Amino acid sequence: MQLLSRLIETIPDGEVLAVRIGIYWTAVVVDIAGQQSCGLCATLSSRHIHGTKQIPNIPNAGQLERSSGLDLVASLIEGSETQRSVAMAALNALLPKLPQLWQETNAEKIIEKHGAGRRVAIVGHFPFVDRLRSKVGELAVLEQHPGPSDIPAEEAPRIIPFAEVVAITGMTLVNHTLSNILELCSPDAKVILMGPSTPLSPILFDYGIDILSGAVVTDIKPVLNVIVQGGNFRQIHRAGVRLVNIHGSQVSGRES
């Protein structure tokens, strides 16, 4: 929570222009001093039971554009799952942009580079994990909903302390598990926070993360259209998203 609070303290407020919650992805568009910016986050959603009196995932649905950017971000701490997805998308939209630090490559290539001949742990099942198995020394994939080749997330204390490279989905910030995972990492491990939900903020380097691998929306309207029509990330990427990375060594002078 301290990490999230620090992230929130670094962002300006902005006018919310659009909130789009798709099946797989959520986007928030803000205006900051006349400049539009769009942030992304994977969509989390609680099971909906028709006809019950349960509290809605988005209590003020239909009114979100009347909120300020910081109003939306406030739900990142204690909101419902879907509210937290909106909040992280809003935070990513509001974060100051640092194009001078961006490097153009994707998380798969970074893990391949640093994981050659090493033990690698990935938290979250990404589409590229099967391709990586032959390119790194050993690969363990931890997943809350494990598939046939995955390891249940509760096995993290057995796996992560011995990994030389740890790649973590940015969604661990949204579900509030990132701090626990970072505590398990070896001090010598290369730690990567990755995925389109990842905040591209150097503050994260203060918490033991070495590389941020995220996404920047470059063409807002097509991206929103794909999201509300149920598009997956490959489709969103093609519509107008750049995959970029920031290395902690660029900011702190640490070894890359």
What is the average per-residue pLDDT within 27-34? 97
Q: How far apart are CA 18 and CA 227, in angstroms?
A: 12
pLDDT at 72: 95
User: pLDDT per residue over 123-177, tens digit each?
Assistant: 999 999 999 999 999 999 999 889 889 999 999 999 999 999 999 999 999 999 9
pLDDT at 252: 57
Q: How far apart are CA 216 and CA 115, in angstroms?
A: 25
* End-to-end CA separation in angstroms for the chain: 27
Task: Give the three-state DSSP class for 126.
Answer: coil
Q: How many CB atoms lie within 10 A of CB 223?
A: 26
pLDDT at 88: 97
> What is the distance of C-alpha 89 from the center of its chain?
9
User: pLDDT per residue over 188-216, tens digit each?
Assistant: 999 999 999 999 999 999 999 999 999 99
Residue 245 near residue 111 (C-beta atoms within 8 A):
no
pLDDT at 256: 44
Q: Which domains does the chain have, with CATH numbers?
A: 2-96 (no CATH), 100-216+241-252 (3.40.50.11590)
User: pLDDT per residue over 39-98, tens digit each?
Assistant: 999 999 866 555 555 667 877 888 888 999 999 999 999 888 999 999 999 999 999 999
